[in-house]
Amino acid sequence: MQKKNIKLYLIQFAIGGILGLVLGIFMIFSFEELNFGESLFVFFTFIISLIMIAYFHTIVHECGHMLFGLLTGYKFVSIRFGSLILIKKNDKLYLKKYKLAGTGGQCFMSPPNFIGGSIPFQLYHYGGSILNIIVAFISLGFALTSTVPLIKMVFMVMCAVGILYGAINGFPLKMGILINDGYNVKLMKNNLYSRIAVYQQLKVMEYLSHDISLKDMPKDIFFSYQEDQATDALIAGALIQNMEYYLDLKDYKSVSLISIHLNQYKDDLIPLIRYQFINLAYITDLIISRESIYKNDIQNQDHKQLTKVLKSLPTTLTFLYAQSLFENNDIDEANHYKNELQQLNKNYPYPVEIESQLKLINQLDQSYHMIKERC
């Protein structure tokens, strides 16, 4: 994993410390005459409310993206809280399961047309933090007007958590394996191609939600990007999509060209993008030449750790299938991952993605058996 982001932890510590101090002072003055049993009750109420309110603010945050997206011309595609995702398919809503490590939720929307090098992006991306802050101040109002200490405490917690969520998502930060909303806006403000990259990624998610595979999507939504901009996380994410697109088309030459391009900046990519890149490049090498220059990369401890964290994703299961065959020479283990991939289809929101991964597995099979025939 990357070294801890000092800026992120300092901001979390400062905001959390200030809010904790305010809450502590409030609780001391509100509950100063309680006996031990009553104090214990207040403490557990505080802990339970903190957990519930944290989840509540995750919902608020994603609803903020949706609300401000709708207000600026975006159309609803899906919204996820934890592992539950509500997705729109052919004007009907479906409840499915999907989880991405490092995120409490996600809201995907179809962007308005990209005209004159611009789409509205600030309100959509800041919308989650804005609604967190709005709810925080409403909660503060209830806390200040309530005469019941326990209710005051719950609303103060709701205010504190809302401010914390708003700040951590609004300030530009690299958070774990991803970047946050504020960082997205920072990149898009400074670079036209970053805005194009976000437009592309949102359009791809829209088509996937309608069960249209990558190879069947309009070619013109997959843009070309300048080579020296690959370290931009948004552009790198779009280049990963381009690799997946060409892989779905079996255009291995185009995939390899992007791989060569990204490999130059591999160490500068954010962890999630680097992980996806290495897996795609490794699989492509195996299909083309039945051996890969990324053998050392997949044995890296950071890569192994992310494989554990992202094991539920179809692309990770395909990588594990390839690794089981070509590195471990274990057909039973490979078939285990193939079965896991097939079982995902029951509740997975994007079944065409699983179909594409199963086709990749078939191509890997062919390459593997070619090796065996030579032996």
Euclidean distance between CA atoms 22 and 152, whole angstroms: 13
- DSSP state letter for 219: G
Euclidean distance between CA atoms 286 and 176, whole angstroms: 30
For residue 139, list its beta bridge partners: none
Euclidean distance between CA atoms 263 and 106, whole angstroms: 29
- Cβ–Cβ under 8 Å, residues 265 and 231: yes
pTM recorded for the entire structure: 0.88
| Tens-digit pLDDT profile for residues 82-94 | 899 999 998 899 9
pLDDT at 11: 56
| Tens-digit pLDDT profile for residues 253-286 | 999 999 999 999 999 999 999 999 999 999 999 9
> Is residue 361 pLDDT above 60, yes or no?
yes
> Is residue 58 pLDDT above 80, yes or no?
yes
- Cβ–Cβ under 8 Å, residues 33 and 141: no
Give percent above pLDDT 90 in the chain.
Answer: 68
Euclidean distance between CA atoms 270 and 132, whole angstroms: 26
Q: What is the mean pLDDT of the chain?
A: 88
- Cβ–Cβ under 8 Å, residues 98 and 85: yes
Kindly state the greatest CA–CA separation across the chain: 83
pLDDT at 25: 57
Euclidean distance between CA atoms 50 and 262, whole angstroms: 42
CA atoms in the 13 A half-sphere facing the CB of 193? 17
Output the CA–CA distances (angstroms, integers) from residue 221 to 4, 190, 242, 261, 354, in the order listed: 35, 21, 10, 20, 21
> Is residue 31 pLDDT above 70, yes or no?
no
pLDDT at 100: 81
pLDDT at 329: 92
| Tens-digit pLDDT profile for residues 187-204 | 999 899 999 999 999 999
For residue 88, list its beta bridge partners: 93
> Is residue 206 pLDDT above 70, yes or no?
yes
Euclidean distance between CA atoms 186 and 235, whole angstroms: 13
- Cβ–Cβ under 8 Å, residues 274 and 310: no
Sign (positive or negative) of CA dihedral 35, 38, 43, 44: positive
